[in-house]
Structure formats: structure tokens, C-alpha cells
Amino acid sequence: MRRLIVFFLIVVAVLVTMALTVPDREKHVQAIDRVIAYVVKDLMPDIEAVGDSYEFIGMAYATKSVSDKVQGMLTVKQQRLWSVGKIEYQGRQIPVSLGIFGHAFTIPKKLATKVFSNFVKDYFGIGTAPSSNTKPSSGSKPDSGSAPDAATPPSGSKPASEPATSVSI
């Protein structure tokens, strides 16, 4: 009986701590900014940490621009014990952060790279190659046996490699 009471008190203490330490929107913004900086740096691989000053300024500007755009799309739902940060992208709500015990945890960096790189490419054109939507000339052949539209989805549709529907926290 005594163990049950101690267990109950511990559970109550944890729940009260969770309720008192639910992170606010600012914590989610800070966590997502760190992930966005990682994604932008990943999309601009030629930039080194102490490289050319123009490249560094360009990366800082791109990171700030992407961050401002994402912050405008970010909604944070406050629950009693936790909070969830979501961005609306292509008509879907994608969870990108979970706040608990005063800290906002973000989605893994590989998944964030997939989600945010599509966003960055769509909105800012960062990391995009020259347009491949042009049809090959009559004398040229398509790439070795692959369908020309298999890798490039039509505009406005969800890319096949985007895991947004499987993102869950």
C-alpha cells in the first residue's frame, strides 16, 4: 500500500512539473530556427563556417528569410502537459516540434531536411538546379530507361519522396 501511495505521488509530481513547464511559442521558434540553419547550410554545401564573407552573409540572409517565412506559418497548440508546433505546407499541417518539460524537441535532422528543403526550394529557389521540366529535343534520349516524369511530380502535387504524410510525433 505504501509503494502505491509513493508511486501515485511521483506520478502527480511529474504531471504537475509537466503542466508548469510547457514551453511557449518562442521555445518552438528557437528550436525550429536551429533546424532551418542546418537545412539551409545543407542546401548550400560550398559554404564553410569561416569561408568567404559574401557567402556567409548570403547564408545568414537565406536562413533569416526562411526562418521568417516559417515562423509566419508556425502554429503552436498548447495542451495542458505539452505543446506541438506545426507548419502548414501545401494544405497540410506538418508537426515539426514537440514541447515538453520546458524544451521544444524538433523532428530529426534528416526528416527536417526532407520537409524543409522542399519548402525552401518552393518558396525561395535555394538549392534548385536549372529547370528540368523542359522536354528533351527530338534527337536526345531520356535517361537510361526511367520515365521522364517519375522523379519530377507535376507542380502543385506532393513529391513522392516527401514524408510529410508519415511525419508523426
Question: Over the stretch 90-129, which tens digit does the pLDDT of each residue have?
Answer: 888 989 999 999 999 999 988 888 877 777 777 666 555 4
What CA–CA distance (Å, rounded) separates 70 from 104?
A: 16
Residue 161: pLDDT over 60: no
3-state secondary structure 144-156: CCCCCCCCCCCCC
Q: Domains of the chain: which residue ranges?
A: 19-127+161-169
**Number of separate helices (H) and strands (E) present in the chain:** 4, 4
Question: Over the stretch 52-96, which tens digit does the pLDDT of each residue have?
Answer: 667 777 778 878 888 888 888 899 999 999 999 998 878 889 899
Would you list the DSSP string of 42-81?
HH-TT--TTS-HHHHHHHHHHHHHHHHHHHHHEEEEE-SS
